[in-house]
Structure 1
Amino acid sequence: MNQTVSGIDFAPALPWWLLAALAAVAVIATGFAVWRGARGAWWRAAAFAAVLLALGNPRLREETRETRPDIAVVLVDESDSTRVAGREARIAAARTAVTQRMSRLPDLETRIVAVPEAGTQGTLLWGALERALAEIPRARLAGILALTDGQAHDAPTDPAPGAPFHLLLAGRPGEIDRRIRIIEAPGFGIVGRSVEVRLVVEDLGVARADGAARLTIRRDGQAPRVESVPVGREHRVTVPIERGGPTVLELSAEVREGEVSDVNNRAVVTINGVRDRLRVLLVSGEPHAGERTWRRLLKADPNVDLVHFTILRPPEKDDLTPLNELALIAFPVRELFQVKLRDFDLVVFDRFANRGLLPPAYLRNIADYVRQGGALLMSVGPEYSGPTSLFPTPLGQVLPARPVGGGQAVAEGAFRAQVTEAGARHPVTEGLPQANQDAAPPSWGQWYRWLRAEPRAGTTVMSAPGAAPLLVLDRVGEGRVALLLSDQIWLWSRGHDGGGPQAELLRRAAHWLMREPELEEEDLSARIEGGTLSVVRRSVEPGPPPEITVTAPDGSITRHVLRPGTGGRATQDMAAGLPGVWQVSDGRRTAFAAAAAANPPEIADLRADEARLRPAVTAGGGAVRWMGAWVEPLIPDIRRVALGRDAAGPGWIGLRRNQDHTVTGVSATPLLPPWAALPLVLGLLLVGWRREGR
């Protein structure tokens, strides 16, 4: 809008200090004349005044101005905390009302600034305001209105908004909120032991927190247990770690009457179960070239405690040497295979022959150890066939392959081990370097001996010539067995014929036997990252994967089809926005994934509160007003106020009127031009002279 403003200014012909000196001389001269009683003194004073006025050059100045509208910033909080207790609807209604009222105010422009959800950083309201103010001239800023619940986790302690800052709160004064606050939760625990989670159930907004609350604890989807915990005091929850991998713990406090929301009444903790130092028993039946391969492999793992025995002197080699001259340690059969057998996580028999060192009762103990959850790995050579074989013993009941009789068990000749079709899907052999892939032969080194055997159970993951089983893996009861039907894997470690992935294959086999979660061949896992639920199903069984059922924390159930992948895997990703425990099932297995709150600072305290933004309101001279169904009207009246005036009062809030403008034209007309000043001065002097001459 254009407007014209008129005024009088001066453009002196002489500096102001010189005009001031001339004025002083004129005053002195006039004063002396008046003191002497000169008859033309006042006419002389008028002449002096005319001269000074002419030298000051007064002008009539006219400006044509284009006024620029002021700008009001409206911050609209869209973070997660505004979605509880009906706040989102009240903020939306207040935004509409504010926009309508401001549109009726002249010379005012409204800018809506949305404050989005900021992930794990809380509500970054002040950052959104600063970005908006960077594009607004401060001379045009009329004021700031924040439509929020008071959650502003980046508000400065000494703000300088530069204009009236008004806070319109969505909520109810004096709200209360119950929450679970995790004080300490371990990230991992030792399998077979228990860990403690320290927490406190708090009631915010109450003068005195007392009494007790029921705490529901659910672990990995099992039946919940309920404990009574004191409100406001630390409580410890004991969690047993029964298996490797993640253990998901869901905690839920009962809802308090009148609280804002129960969103923060729940907490989810994930504890990763890890095994303590693994105890491995390695028994070598005789010294041979591959014995050191096993020892180096197991000793290289700092998490493994290895007990290794080598049978140097079999019973049939009795040369009548006195015992006091033998530098040998007696094989502690009873201690190892009866007293302390179950202390070992893995038992490895390397070319161990049945020569009577282990009576049938001890071999039966080993078989029972496997059935009850133990792990057995056997690397066999020619001793596995014939009268020294362990297969006819009680241990043979848990072995997955029977040696071929008739003296045909031992086969010799150069060959390269092949990964079978099932092995390409099994985690022990899937993706092994240099393995056969896509009909291409393997590129690792050759072996020269294997044992012919008939598979009777388990999965053959590697084969010898003629599709004969070479590495067979089997589950027996609660335990696992691996049978390697060759004693020449050590050739790979020596680099013979290019070598091979000996260390990786044996490491995988050993960790599969000890039930490492990452090496489960029949497994369903789920994890949540960045609000996305990722499901991975792994199976050695061919065919399309089954449909999965996903149960959200709120109880809603959805079904999804997995996408087939490589290595026996099938995957699916889906949105997981709700915090809590998500359950995934394929009909046979069930997996759980914990989704923590997307923005923990945001839900830590759900009460609407002015405390964080009160310094900005005070610094800007604004006001705090509550909006909602409990306070009428929804928003106060909005007025324009002049600079320096109060910006708030009973029932109203004010936006500053800055009157910022741009000058588009200027004209100046002299009020006493020289052609008029000269006759005026001469006329006054003439009148004064004639007055004095009488």
Structure 2
Amino acid sequence: MIEDLVLVFFALLVFLTIRFRGSFYRFAALAVVFFLIANPAIRKKSEAPPPVLALCLDTSSSMAVKEGGMSRIDRAKEVIRRELPELRKRFSLSFYTFDSGFRQMAEEDFFRAGASGGASLISRVCAEITASLPDGGAMLLLSDGRDTAPEPSYFSKPLHSAGFGRVIENDMSVKVLEYPEKVFQGAVSKLRLRLERSGERSQARVTISRAGGKIAEKTLVFGEGESVKDIDMEFVPDEPGENIRYRVELHPTDARPGNNSDFFSVSVFKSLIKVLFISGRPGWEYSNLRALIKSDKRIDLTSFVILRNPSDYVPFPDNKLSLIPFPVREIFLNDISHYDLVILLNFDYTKFISPDYLSPLLRHIRAGGALMLIGGENLFSNGNYFKSPLGESLPFRERHGGVFSEDKFFLRASPGHPVTSFISSISELGDVPLKGMSPAAGTAPDAETVLETAEGLPVAAVCGAGKGRIMVLLTNSLWRLFFAGAETSYFYQEFFKNSFAWLTRSPLLDEMSVSGRKNYKIGEELLLRIQLRNAGRSGVTVRHDSPAGPAYLSPVMLSPGLFMVKQRIAEAGRHSLRIAVSGERGVRADKNFIFTAADTGIEDENTSASHSHLRDISRLSLGKYLGSDSFRAADIPSPDGDSVLYRPAMKNYYLLFTALFLLWLWFKENTQ
């Protein structure tokens, strides 16, 4: 902008002086301004110091592999020694070695370095080194190209590379990076895979199978110059169960079939849960709750409502009644284990069966089943359930001589339990009067209160029983919330939906879900994804207990409620991650994630070179790949700092001369 204004100013002066009668002066003025506008350039040798070239040598253990009687690292040093005189003429050299991190060192230490590192973080290290170089600098990478944690990186300076080691042509590998901890049967689930290749093979077919049966398939194609590819692949679990093992395979197999497959294990939950609902009396709680359950397509409901108890007087014989007899013995002795959740509403079992009939139900709960007891005048009548096999497993204790209370009370929800944590803040909840409470003396030591009265008396409590869970709700008047208003109706529906999910251990109610591998090798990078159910005002802390001792890791937030943990694995053995989610009221949820690191290192898994990766990063950094097992210093492109363009027309002394000359011409013409 400044140069343009200068040219305009001088052009005006030329217009004023061009009228002068002397043709010599007119020609001289035009020549001076033309030279200024043309602004010719002359290339001159730069007097600046030579540009910096960082020599970076890979010292990971794969560089110790011997081929042709010489290790890769020794071959790289030999080539550097040969080209060192020529490199010194053109560059100011600095020396680095790297494996899981980089180190700058003196030249003699550079040539004494050995290959023993447990990892080779080529992309990450090169990005950090190039960022530290001055303007005009460049980097020369000497490596076999085996990046144990390839990742997208930005290289701020040109990166030239030379590859060392034998390349296995047309080799392709697959590795599972992330997979979900829990999934639903029949629901689309996703895992993340990393595929690496060397050679010209660019296409492969990936399958996911279980017990010999294929459940997913995907064809992938590598782009030109692409050696590492991370993909997401979907699969649909077909059968429920804990820790079901799935196999990921590449087809067709190649010269190294050992890296053509990997595996992962997940817990698969039923997409359709079976619920048995028995009500001792018809009523509003039964009709509302049955309608709510029927509206959920994920629940297969079997329900019974008792219209006539054995003690009720009916002036007709049974064969004259249209009521279907309640099949209580068949249910409690034969079919009870087929149901994921059993709901007993105001049901006094003593009118139909003896306490021994509840023993199969208790065994089913301890094996992973669930039970919900809902109050009424018949629940806990004469201490019925407390005196049954279920008694010691219930979250309440018996109130001897207690009777059903008709007193009114107001409700409040616990903010600390998953069932009510999201709905406890509904203020209208405490404005609706409820009525009716079954007798109980208080909660058991291992129980947790979910609902309580305004005075703090427990209304609903939960506890565990073996692998199963039990909830007891002392009142059957929550239906009043449904009709009291929109907010309390929402509470009613969410409370029971969340209760069903918590009782059946559904992942839908997990405060957090964790996805990551359970098996690593030394030198690999732990990748752990943490998804929170409630992202608002939540913090995540991760404590890593490794064979070397405890340490805290720093989760990185990718988006609200989604965190990523990365950590290089340095010790073999059992590792435990204690993940805690904190909220306004302290720790809201915690979970242990266990993984194992094998004694072998990631560098020992595959020692074949990958020069295509070096080509990729050189291309991305605007550098040059110099060749395999050798290079010439003359092939390294000259940096822009070798010479400069000299423009005399823009020098201060010429601008001053032009201004004075044109001013003299103008003065000479206008003073005659």
TM-score, with structure 2 as normaliser: 0.53
1:307 maps to 2:302:
yes
* SS of residue paired to 1:365: helix
* Distance change (3 Å), C-alpha of 1:345 and 1:147: same
Structure 1 residue 285: deviation in Å?
Answer: 0.9
Structure 1 residue 181: deviation in Å?
Answer: 2.5
Structure 1 residue 561: deviation in Å?
Answer: 11
Alpha-carbon distance in structure 2 between the residues aligned to 1:154 and 1:468: 56
Give the total of aligned pairs.
484
Alpha-carbon distance in structure 2 between the residues aligned to 1:381 and 1:371: 26
Superposed CA deviations along residues 428-475 of structure 1, whole A, max 9, x for unmatched, are 233433368xxxx96452212222311362424122365332112122
Larger Rg: 1
Superposed CA deviations along residues 320-365 of structure 1, whole A, max 9, x for unmatched, are 4465654433322233212221110110001112352234332232
**Match among 504, 521, 532 for residue 514 of structure 1:** 504
Q: Which amino acid aligns with 1:299?
A: K
Q: Which amino acid aligns with 1:376?
A: L
Alpha-carbon distance in structure 1 between the residues aligned to 2:643 and 2:362: 94
Superposed CA deviations along residues 566-590 of structure 1, whole A, max 9, x for unmatched, are xxxxx9996523499953369x984
Alpha-carbon distance in structure 1 between the residues aligned to 2:468 and 2:284: 30
- Give the superposed CA RMSD: 6.6
| Unaligned stretches of 5+ residues in structure 2 | 1-39, 65-71, 101-120, 153-157, 200-236, 249-255, 518-524, 534-539, 556-561, 580-589, 651-672
Superposed CA deviations along residues 478-504 of structure 1, whole A, max 9, x for unmatched, are 322111011111111112696251122
CA contact (8 A) 2:53 2:92 kept: no
* SS of residue paired to 1:418: strand
Alpha-carbon distance in structure 1 between the residues aligned to 2:275 and 2:478: 20
Match of 1:490 in 2: 479
Alpha-carbon distance in structure 1 between the residues aligned to 2:433 and 2:313: 37
Q: How does 1:344-383 map to 2 (within 5 A)?
A: 344-354=339-349, 356-383=351-378
CA contact (8 A) 2:62 2:607 kept: no
Alpha-carbon distance in structure 1 between the residues aligned to 2:486 and 2:247: 54
**Match among 447, 457, 466 for residue 459 of structure 1:** 447
Q: How does 1:49-60 map to 2 (within 5 A)?
A: none
CA contact (8 A) 1:166 1:624 kept: no
Alpha-carbon distance in structure 2 between the residues aligned to 1:517 and 1:293: 25
Alpha-carbon distance in structure 2 between the residues aligned to 1:79 and 1:340: 69
Q: Which amino acid aligns with 2:63?
A: A
Q: How does 1:313-462 map to 2 (within 5 A)?
A: 313-321=308-316, 326-354=321-349, 356-387=351-382, 389-406=384-401, 408-419=402-413, 423-434=414-425, 443=430, 445-455=432-442, 457=444, 458-461=446-449, 462=451
* SS of residue paired to 1:330: coil
**Match among 67, 73, 80 for residue 44 of structure 2:** 67
CA contact (8 A) 1:446 1:497 kept: no
Match of 1:609 in 2: 611
Structure 1 residue 294: deviation in Å?
Answer: 1.6
Larger mean Cα displacement after TM superposition, 327-336 or 485-494: 327-336
Alpha-carbon distance in structure 1 between the residues aligned to 2:85 and 2:324: 95
* Distance change (3 Å), C-alpha of 1:389 and 1:465: farther
Match of 1:294 in 2: 289
1:171 maps to 2:148:
no
1:499 maps to 2:488:
yes
Match of 2:63 in 1: 85
CA contact (8 A) 2:415 2:422 kept: yes
Alpha-carbon distance in structure 1 between the residues aligned to 2:495 and 2:58: 49
1:664 maps to 2:660:
no
Superposed CA deviations along residues 135-170 of structure 1, whole A, max 9, x for unmatched, are 99xxxx9x9977665689999xxxxxxxxx996424
* Distance change (3 Å), C-alpha of 1:505 and 1:444: farther
CA contact (8 A) 2:611 2:628 kept: no
1:558 maps to 2:550:
yes
Structure 1 residue 96: deviation in Å?
Answer: 11
* SS of residue paired to 2:611: coil
Structure 1 residue 76: deviation in Å?
Answer: 7.5
Alpha-carbon distance in structure 2 between the residues aligned to 1:445 and 1:78: 73
Alpha-carbon distance in structure 2 between the residues aligned to 1:372 and 1:299: 26
Q: How does 1:578-657 map to 2 (within 5 A)?
A: 578=569, 582-584=575-577, 590-592=592-594, 607-609=609-611, 613=615, 624-626=626-628, 636-638=632-634
Superposed CA deviations along residues 149-200 of structure 1, whole A, max 9, x for unmatched, are 5689999xxxxxxxxx9964242235699986259998666689xx9x9x99
CA contact (8 A) 2:52 2:92 kept: no
Match of 1:7 in 2: none
* SS of residue paired to 2:424: coil
CA contact (8 A) 2:275 2:343 kept: yes
* Distance change (3 Å), C-alpha of 1:268 and 1:404: same
Superposed CA deviations along residues 273-332 of structure 1, whole A, max 9, x for unmatched, are 322411110001111011122212322322111111111222223424465654433322
Identity of aligned residues (%): 19
Q: Which amino acid aligns with 1:362?
A: Y
Superposed CA deviations along residues 397-452 of structure 1, whole A, max 9, x for unmatched, are 4333245344x532233321234xxx44332233433368xxxx964522122223
CA contact (8 A) 2:165 2:608 kept: no
* Distance change (3 Å), C-alpha of 1:558 and 1:324: same
Q: Which amino acid aligns with 2:279?
A: S
Match of 2:273 in 1: 278
Structure 1 residue 84: deviation in Å?
Answer: 5.3
Q: Which amino acid aligns with 2:292?
A: L
Q: Which amino acid aligns with 1:409?
A: V
Alpha-carbon distance in structure 2 between the residues aligned to 1:166 and 1:430: 53
Alpha-carbon distance in structure 1 between the residues aligned to 2:151 and 2:343: 59
Structure 1 residue 374: deviation in Å?
Answer: 2.0
* Distance change (3 Å), C-alpha of 1:560 and 1:177: farther
Q: Which amino acid aligns with 1:426?
A: H
* SS of residue paired to 1:510: helix
Alpha-carbon distance in structure 1 between the residues aligned to 2:56 and 2:176: 29
| Unaligned stretches of 5+ residues in structure 1 | 1-62, 156-164, 206-237, 252-258, 539-544, 564-570, 639-647, 667-694
* SS of residue paired to 1:404: coil
Match of 2:211 in 1: none
Structure 1 residue 66: deviation in Å?
Answer: 4.5
* Distance change (3 Å), C-alpha of 1:201 and 1:405: same
Q: Which amino acid aligns with 1:459?
A: A
* Distance change (3 Å), C-alpha of 1:144 and 1:393: closer
Alpha-carbon distance in structure 1 between the residues aligned to 2:319 and 2:494: 43
Alpha-carbon distance in structure 2 between the residues aligned to 1:507 and 1:80: 57
* SS of residue paired to 1:576: strand
Alpha-carbon distance in structure 1 between the residues aligned to 2:57 and 2:239: 37
* SS of residue paired to 2:502: helix
Alpha-carbon distance in structure 1 between the residues aligned to 2:568 and 2:73: 18
* Distance change (3 Å), C-alpha of 1:104 and 1:300: same
Structure 1 residue 110: deviation in Å?
Answer: 10
Alpha-carbon distance in structure 2 between the residues aligned to 1:430 and 1:470: 16
Superposed CA deviations along residues 347-398 of structure 1, whole A, max 9, x for unmatched, are 0001112352234332232233223332110001121254484433444343
Q: How does 1:131-210 map to 2 (within 5 A)?
A: 149=144, 168-174=161-167, 181=174
CA contact (8 A) 1:167 1:624 kept: yes
* Distance change (3 Å), C-alpha of 1:88 and 1:345: farther
Match of 2:118 in 1: none
* SS of residue paired to 1:314: coil
